[in-house]
Amino acid sequence: MATAQLLSVEGVSKSFPGVQALKDVHLDLNSGEVLALVGENGAGKSTLMKVLSGIYKRDTGVIKLNNQPIEVDGPLQAQKLGIAIIHQEMNLMPHLTVAQNILIGREPRKLFGIATDDKELNRQAKILLDELHLNLDPNQLVGKLTVAKQQMVEIAKALSYDSKIIIMDEPTSALTQSETDVLFTIIGNLRKSGKGIIYISHRMEELTKISDRITVFRDGQYIDTLITKDTKIAKIISLMIGREVAQDIRPDQVKKFSDSEVALEIKGLSTKNLLKDISFQLRKGEILGFAGLMGAGRTELALAIVGKDQISAGEIIIKGKKVKINNPSDAVANGIGYLSEDRKRYGVLLNQDVKFNLVLSNLRRLISKIGFVNTAKSKGLSNDAVKNLTIRTPTINQMVKNLSGGNQQKVVIGKWLTRETDILIFDEPTRGIDVGAKDEVYKLIGELAKAGKSIIMISSELPEVLRMSDRILVMCEGRVTGILTNKEADQNLIMQYATKYR
């Protein structure tokens, strides 16, 4: 393999008011290789990417492209230099077509450059898509595509600049297994054609599959670079967080729940669009994992149970009593709490402080007779929650947006704990949370179950499901295809059930 050095970052630092985001980091990328860049949230990966794409200006250090020092003044300049970034958040225009998105800023023109030539635009886009073996219609609106296909559009867009360096920031976080496989095939082809790829991900199994070398950052500093095939996952993780963590963990003791009370029973639940005849039981103190591919209907099932989506048939039985849940407040009244996967949108108020968030769902209890909020009680309640959940925040007056993902998640959990909910539905509770904080969230969920709460945990990460769940309910295309005990379940079996109807 040709290993000409493509990009080198030497001694780059960047600080923001109050934070040193990068301290003297370095990194080098060869042509024809996939370099994984790993580190916990806040390790400085994204900052470095933004420096490379010219969104941020570095304070010190040198960036060399093909051994020539370069200055990157902005995204346009980065594109011209052949550096393309596929950002974590989708960076597409949903109201424009596939072709319009791919070639934005470089539309073929006619009539003295005023008018767009859409025929030519679609033709050029089609060629690009065909080169990548992407079966996409250039004329389709991007907003109507699945997340995976949108990702493909992003890749096509990045490559359309004839980029030599492609940086992918968590590209698989919203993809299913088969879509990830397609992506990896594409990455493999790019590597063969001599491009250099920097691949940022939290998913360790992926890195071992796809990368040649792995560079680890921690706290804004360079830690080490390892050759992937000589390295164990545990080693990478310990470098990332500075201590050892076991990967394939199962619950301490697999408990038997056949004797305990049935907290929630679903009988023959269906919705108009997706869910078909779903039945299961959840017992007191049990953690029931929901596994399945994206689009299998796990979140939809949760939303149907809490009354966000309408059910067309079926019964919801709580502690032996049939209940009617028409909206989320009915669900709360019946003791069911739903913690959304999209924490920033549905879980917390980012621009309010920790206290405000923790107290919000309890205001009724904290209001005095004449309608004022009892400040002392709110403070006490918030301080208790911060202590019990080990929320890392300087004070309860800190804005929630300044907390890390893991601590934000704890605030969400805290919100629900202060209500009397017996059944908690966690939807992707560790999405976007770094490895160390994940452990704490797991511990917290485990403790909740021990304290007698019944828990449904929706997760796309199989190791997480296997680690946490007493039983695992697998869904595929809106149906339950299997309910496994932790003992009999393994990744292969779950995937078999999850792909049953495909």
Partner 1 sequence: MAKLKDNALMASIRHRAEQSLAFASLVAIFIFFTFANSAFATWSNITGILLSTAVIGLLAIGTTFVIITGGIDLSIGTGVTLTSVMVAWSLNNMGMPIWVGIIVGILSGALMGLFSGLAITRLQLPPFIATLAMMLIAKGLALVISGVKPIYLESVEGYNNIALGQIIPNFPNAVLIFFASAVVASIVLNRTIIGRYTFAIGSNEEATKLSGINVDRWKILIYIIGGIYIGLAGIVLSSRLSSAQPALGQGYELEAIAAVIIGGTSLLGGKGSITGTVIGALIMAVLINGLRIMEIRQEWQTVVTGLVIIVAVYADSIRRRNAGEL
Give the footprint of partner 1 on this chain (CB under 8 A): 53, 55, 74-76, 79, 85, 87, 90-96, 100, 104-105, 107, 109, 113-116, 118, 135-137, 139-141, 143-144, 157
| Closer residue to partner 1 in complex, CB, 92/226 | 92
Instruction: Supply the DSSP symbol for 18.
Output: T
Q: Distance between alpha carbon 347 and the CA centroid of its chain, in Å?
A: 15
Closest CB 94 distance from partner 1, rounded Å: 6
| Closer residue to partner 1 in complex, CB, 169/440 | 169
| Closer residue to partner 1 in complex, CB, 155/263 | 155
| Closer residue to partner 1 in complex, CB, 91/375 | 91
Contact predicate 339/427, CB 8 Å: yes
b vs e for 190-219, b when ≥16 Cβ sit within 10 Å of the residue's Cβ? bbeeebbbbbbbbbbebbbebbbbbbbbbe
Largest separation between any pair of C-alpha atoms in the chain? 79
Closest CB 115 distance from partner 1, rounded Å: 5
| Closer residue to partner 1 in complex, CB, 58/157 | 157
Closest CB 76 distance from partner 1, rounded Å: 3
The four Cα atoms 171, 174, 177, 183 give a dihedral, to 10 degrees, of: -30
| Closer residue to partner 1 in complex, CB, 100/499 | 100
DSSP string for 259-315: TS-EEEEEEEEE-SSS--SEEEEEETT-EEEEEE-TTSSHHHHHHHHTTSS--SEEE
Closest CB 13 distance from partner 1, rounded Å: 24
| Closer residue to partner 1 in complex, CB, 31/101 | 101
Instruction: Supply the DSSP symbol for 256.
Output: P
Closest CB 220 distance from partner 1, rounded Å: 23
Closest CB 49 distance from partner 1, rounded Å: 12
Q: What DSSP element (H or E) covers 115?
A: strand 115-116
Question: How are beta strands 336-339 and 213-218 bridged, if at all?
Answer: unpaired
Contact predicate 125/98, CB 8 Å: yes
| Closer residue to partner 1 in complex, CB, 115/333 | 115
Closest CB 141 distance from partner 1, rounded Å: 7
Which amino acid appears at position 245 of this protein? V
Cα dihedral sign for 89, 91, 94, 97?
negative
Nearest-angstrom CA–CA distance, 62 and 9: 6
The 3-state DSSP class for residue 365 equals helix
Six-digit token string for 328 = 């989320």
Nearest-angstrom CA–CA distance, 335 and 425: 11
| Closer residue to partner 1 in complex, CB, 17/113 | 113
Six-digit token string for 396 = 């309860």
Closest CB 99 distance from partner 1, rounded Å: 11
Closest CB 290 distance from partner 1, rounded Å: 23
